[in-house]
Structure 1
């Protein structure tokens, strides 16, 4: 009996102990394994990096003519403040064409321990406003997960379903100072011809894969890509990085089906999508004929209508539904007086159509550093619309969003690049006009009178053509007097001790070339440095090169100049009374290279008068990295010559 009691006590004691242990385990769940600890990053990936892409996995599924699903999973370790914007997560979408689901994000500390986790309902959803937007269905889903202590890791994932898409770009490495530990791209389609995958700067070959739903596709994987540095004067890396263009071959919108199989079919789709939107109100049609009744030449009629559009409409950004691709009707612009680039282009197109003058809306990539179009395959690199007006053997291009541009003038915003002219018969890739240095000239004359303290009173006359006149035209036509003065004082001249007494602008544009003149009267204290009886007088302060591009050891990237121009500067200096020239180097400086040319010379015109003439021609182009040292030496010569001084001495 005693043994039975003893065994019973031991059994219940053991049972109680096990119960306590189980309760403890339930109350204290197993700690999750650390995720993305910084210590696990290969050491070689940290060198030169601000961020490490730990995991980047995207799956694109083309499921039908108007259904594309993209699933994204990204984890990035942020090493320092230079990369903190990565933690401010932003996903842009069109609420009429896209649906975002399953959005979630988590932050981990450097040890891989979870700091914070949020679901989609905790993200903010904002409309894209400002910058001239008047209406938009574009939204941004965003959350600020930035942390005070570095390093840390942000992981997020979401699914995007699209009913309309000209395609997506997927970057393996999205910019400089970014290392990639692992990245993977999968693309599936409901049939082989449904999608075109265009690799750029990619050497890796794909593997054939099958999705869980049985779709056939391709897969690429990338590992251990070291960070690189963007070198000075490098081309726009956005268009030189390893990437993929993923282009669905069939597009469908507003009941219209199109194809991305060729530039011709792409242009035809855009034309068909906007067909029937050129109708003008009856009273306005009568007005168009009345405005142009006294001229017979089609281009003169076009100029009259272009000026009318500039004077009576304004640009706003409109992104409603398929507003990124479909224009508002011309009747809307005629009634309301505003539109985006497509709507204003369509309005001009409609007015010309009323007069039976052929013209074609045209898609183009705008900006000095816009993505160059590769004619060898079809995709959508465009962000702007202009109008093509055939004129015999020539072509007139009209920028319809500018209220000040001369008729037929594009400038470096859209010149010298492929554009897609959208005709009823299909799209045609055509180059817009190219401008050379001789088309963009600035002549500047500086007439200055020094006093014995080194102060100067001067009149400056500046005359410019091509893109060199763009700023003067903008200041004259669009800026207030206060804005004009602020620009001239703080950016154009920016001389210490400057007093801008008066200035004026003149539009000298003729039919062949835009031209502007600016007249300026100024006074500048301590223009010359006084030392005892001497004055050290700079011969060229109005337009000088002041620095040499920084040296790059073992340069790997090409270097580029985007603008070509010629500057001709004449500086006349009247000496103060009782001062004579002690030192003046009158030997000419001349240098000729493939990058451009430079020449300058100082001349004593009279006993009390000196002239410094400078002429520089800079060419645009892309050069091999091996030529960078030669380019630096060219600029170094210019900087040295532009620092030329003369020394004046006061008579005893």
Structure 2
């Protein structure tokens, strides 16, 4: 049968990227050498990086010209997506030039591409006001097994920052990864390695080169830390002469310098005007008298401001500078730094002290204490001073000089005051408080703060069919994640719930899904009515077998591999379930799952199954408590055994027999 969709995809790709014609290629020396490199392959290797290099030349005026060269060998059809490149740049300070790409076949023929084959687009669809852009190119439709895709280009940078990051490792094997800095006389370059022993540079005059070879693929494992915790990368500081007045490139000797620089950017934007003061009075008039109620009223308003990414003049520090609070209030939109500035202004108007805080969104491991720079942060949140000792929250941190600080993210639409997203918990953030600013390690919430309580009432029939109701009540981040799913379009939300129930109850029909969102209280409740044929297995009408663990936990990740390379990362959460399963008349319980109970330093689990003859139903109870933990790979066996105990317990059936 003819399948039209690959043809449509190919047509779309060729419409996006104009065609290049095949011919015998004359390759630049670096690519000719790279294409001959051999890399050991594992069975699941889709592509290998043959050459990954940056050559950065710095002029005495501070202009940086960076030439990038990259070559990838496509090993399997799945590796064709590696025959592509994305060049991110800031249009206010950067210019991309000299783009050229090649697709080299094993016989030496292939295609050559130029900048005319690329597209230039905004980095994000949410970036309505932003100068961050991307040059994109893909040779996906031209690539096939054993081809080499390569590209080179130059970025001219007139920005003001002299700090950079070079990542040596990827999820693919790397034959050669190299970064070179050519600096003016009197300048210096300092590099520090993360997740690897120091790599000594090869120095030739004013040229400094760092290189690593033959890196195996970075393995992606369930519940592992992010690559920023494991993969080798290098932090680079470009330092002008000490006696240079008004140096063209900015670096930061310590975190105090970072705090002074970034704190100043928030002073004017966070100053309330008459409109901000009036709005603050209006919001507080409807709030309760207590400090928490006052803070919550202002926090919820900032959280409700529409998110629009605004990143202008990033290369010269514009990416760290918020708009004025009054403008954010008037327009009703802003990004994370704008929301933070508005909320700070309202707190000032309310007589509540607060501080802007920079963070790295989505990866608690990215920020390192050893490298003072604002470049480690991509997000802004707020710290609110709490003078009332009666107020408690897991997100309050005792700062040595600033006192008790409550951390809140006004950009997170799913998490109320008093909580933070899982990925921010445990991370290093930076409090902007002038000379008193500095890094703070955010706490984790307790397992019981992120709780799922489930009750199930179900009837199993003689035919093996089942019908019942599931009621789930969530708190904390368990509620936030369910809230995020619930705010999907209704059709998608129903699909998620249907798919979850059908994972264990095959062919289930969902007749009702109701949800009640109590975000301000940090709660979320869901009710699901379901029915399915054949849940229980009938054995010639004499035995009926079914699993009392009717549905699975949606965040359950099985750990089945015998060995592991990376640590296991566990988030704090807890779970309890009580299922009342009524059995058909004329049947009696023949076998029940045994009691299962296990406890470890990182978690505990218990499953109990009993039978109430008076009400003719099976009662199944299970509880799980997981502590926030990072367990070394050397102790992986204990984690695997823990989850395997749970898996086996929840696969053990109830056996009913026909009464004589």
| TM-score, normalisation: structure 2 | 0.83
Residue number among 166, 176, 183 corresponding to 2:177 in the alignment: 183
**1:16-27 paired onto structure 2 within 5 Å:** none
State the partner residue of 2:226.
236
* In the alignment, structure 1 residue 40 sits paired with structure 2 residue 36: yes
**1:556-595 paired onto structure 2 within 5 Å:** 557-585=565-593, 587-595=594-602
Tell me how far apart the structure 2 counterparts of residues 209 and 37 of structure 1 sit (CA, whole Å). 22
Is the 2:170–2:218 Cα contact (8 Å) retained in structure 1? no
* In the alignment, structure 1 residue 626 sits paired with structure 2 residue 634: yes
State the partner residue of 2:311.
319
* Distance change >3 Å, CA 62–CA 141, structure 1 → 2: same
Tell me how far apart the structure 2 counterparts of residues 30 and 626 of structure 1 sit (CA, whole Å). 49
Is the 2:85–2:138 Cα contact (8 Å) retained in structure 1? yes
Residue number among 372, 381, 386 corresponding to 1:378 in the alignment: 372
- After superposition, what is the alpha-carbon deviation per residue over 1:3-36, rounded to whole angstroms, capped at 9, x for unaligned? xxxxxxxxxxxxxxxxxxxxxxxxxx99889963
**1:43-62 paired onto structure 2 within 5 Å:** 44=40, 49-62=45-58
Is the 1:258–1:269 Cα contact (8 Å) retained in structure 2? no
**1:212-231 paired onto structure 2 within 5 Å:** 216-227=206-217, 229-231=219-221
* In the alignment, structure 1 residue 427 sits paired with structure 2 residue 421: no
* In the alignment, structure 1 residue 126 sits paired with structure 2 residue 121: yes
* Distance change >3 Å, CA 436–CA 95, structure 1 → 2: same
State the partner residue of 1:598.
605
Between 437-446 and 619-628, report the one with greater CA deviation: 619-628
- For structure 2, list consecutive stretches of 5 or more residues without a partner in the other structure: 1-23, 241-245, 388-402
- After superposition, what is the alpha-carbon deviation per residue over 1:536-570, rounded to whole angstroms, capped at 9, x for unaligned? 121112236988423245x4x22222412111111
- For structure 1, list consecutive stretches of 5 or more residues without a partner in the other structure: 1-28, 211-215
Tell me how far apart the structure 1 counterparts of residues 480 and 422 of structure 2 sit (CA, whole Å). 10
Larger radius of gyration: 1
State the partner residue of 1:516.
524
State the partner residue of 2:550.
541
State the partner residue of 1:26.
none
* In the alignment, structure 1 residue 467 sits paired with structure 2 residue 516: no
Tell me how far apart the structure 1 counterparts of residues 248 and 54 of structure 2 sit (CA, whole Å). 29
* In the alignment, structure 1 residue 142 sits paired with structure 2 residue 136: yes
State the partner residue of 1:498.
508
State the partner residue of 2:12.
none
* Distance change >3 Å, CA 170–CA 81, structure 1 → 2: farther
Between 436-445 and 216-225, report the one with greater CA deviation: 216-225
Is the 2:103–2:143 Cα contact (8 Å) retained in structure 1? no
- After superposition, what is the alpha-carbon deviation per residue over 1:278-336, rounded to whole angstroms, capped at 9, x for unaligned? 3455344223224325765444322221223334x211222322253221221221111
* In the alignment, structure 1 residue 337 sits paired with structure 2 residue 332: yes
State the partner residue of 2:17.
none
Is the 2:96–2:153 Cα contact (8 Å) retained in structure 1? yes
Is the 1:89–1:145 Cα contact (8 Å) retained in structure 2? no
State the partner residue of 1:25.
none
Residue number among 69, 73, 77 corresponding to 1:81 in the alignment: 77
* Distance change >3 Å, CA 296–CA 452, structure 1 → 2: closer
Q: Per the alignment, in what secondary structure is the counterpart of residue 365 of structure 2?
A: coil
State the partner residue of 1:437.
447
Is the 2:25–2:109 Cα contact (8 Å) retained in structure 1? no
Task: Return the offset for 1:273.
Answer: 2.7
State the Cα RMSD in Å: 3.3
State the partner residue of 2:293.
300
- After superposition, what is the alpha-carbon deviation per residue over 1:559-587, rounded to whole angstroms, capped at 9, x for unaligned? 222412111111111111222212224x3
Q: Per the alignment, in what secondary structure is the counterpart of residue 133 of structure 1?
A: coil
* In the alignment, structure 1 residue 67 sits paired with structure 2 residue 67: no
Q: Per the alignment, in what secondary structure is the counterpart of residue 376 of structure 1?
A: coil
Q: Per the alignment, in what secondary structure is the counterpart of residue 274 of structure 1?
A: helix
Task: Return the offset for 1:75.
Answer: 2.4
Residue number among 231, 236, 252 corresponding to 1:246 in the alignment: 236
Task: Return the offset for 1:409.
Answer: 2.0
Task: Return the offset for 1:642.
Answer: 0.6
Task: Return the offset for 1:385.
Answer: 0.9
Q: Per the alignment, in what secondary structure is the counterpart of residue 277 of structure 1?
A: coil
Tell me how far apart the structure 2 counterparts of residues 308 and 641 of structure 1 sit (CA, whole Å). 46
State the partner residue of 1:389.
384
Between 443-452 and 155-164, report the one with greater CA deviation: 155-164
Aligned residues: 606
Is the 1:48–1:229 Cα contact (8 Å) retained in structure 2? no
State the partner residue of 1:361.
356
State the partner residue of 1:406.
416
Task: Return the offset for 1:432.
Answer: 2.0
State the partner residue of 1:288.
280
Task: Return the offset for 1:218.
Answer: 2.3
* Distance change >3 Å, CA 304–CA 551, structure 1 → 2: closer
Task: Return the offset for 1:255.
Answer: 12
Is the 2:383–2:431 Cα contact (8 Å) retained in structure 1? yes
- After superposition, what is the alpha-carbon deviation per residue over 1:86-111, rounded to whole angstroms, capped at 9, x for unaligned? 22122111111211122222222224
- After superposition, what is the alpha-carbon deviation per residue over 1:327-381, rounded to whole angstroms, capped at 9, x for unaligned? 12212211111111111111111111222321111111122x4434221221322
Is the 2:501–2:508 Cα contact (8 Å) retained in structure 1? no
* Distance change >3 Å, CA 439–CA 650, structure 1 → 2: same
* In the alignment, structure 1 residue 350 sits paired with structure 2 residue 358: no
Tell me how far apart the structure 1 counterparts of residues 634 and 275 of structure 2 sit (CA, whole Å). 64
* Distance change >3 Å, CA 425–CA 355, structure 1 → 2: farther
* Distance change >3 Å, CA 566–CA 61, structure 1 → 2: same
Task: Return the offset for 1:493.
Answer: 5.8
Tell me how far apart the structure 1 counterparts of residues 27 and 100 of structure 2 sit (CA, whole Å). 18
Between 490-499 and 564-573, report the one with greater CA deviation: 490-499
Q: Per the alignment, in what secondary structure is the counterpart of residue 348 of structure 1?
A: helix
Q: Per the alignment, in what secondary structure is the counterpart of residue 376 of structure 2?
A: coil
Q: Per the alignment, in what secondary structure is the counterpart of residue 86 of structure 2?
A: strand
Task: Return the offset for 1:191.
Answer: 6.5
Tell me how far apart the structure 1 counterparts of residues 117 and 595 of structure 2 sit (CA, whole Å). 69
* Distance change >3 Å, CA 196–CA 524, structure 1 → 2: same
Tell me how far apart the structure 1 counterparts of residues 201 and 489 of structure 2 sit (CA, whole Å). 57
State the partner residue of 2:193.
199
Residue number among 257, 263, 269 corresponding to 2:261 in the alignment: 269
Tell me how far apart the structure 2 counterparts of residues 65 and 31 of structure 1 sit (CA, whole Å). 36
Task: Return the offset for 1:47.
Answer: 7.9
Task: Return the offset for 1:647.
Answer: 1.5
State the partner residue of 2:4.
none
| TM-score, normalisation: structure 1 | 0.84
Task: Return the offset for 1:464.
Answer: 1.9
* Distance change >3 Å, CA 629–CA 295, structure 1 → 2: closer
Tell me how far apart the structure 2 counterparts of residues 184 and 575 of structure 1 sit (CA, whole Å). 67
Task: Return the offset for 1:43.
Answer: 6.3
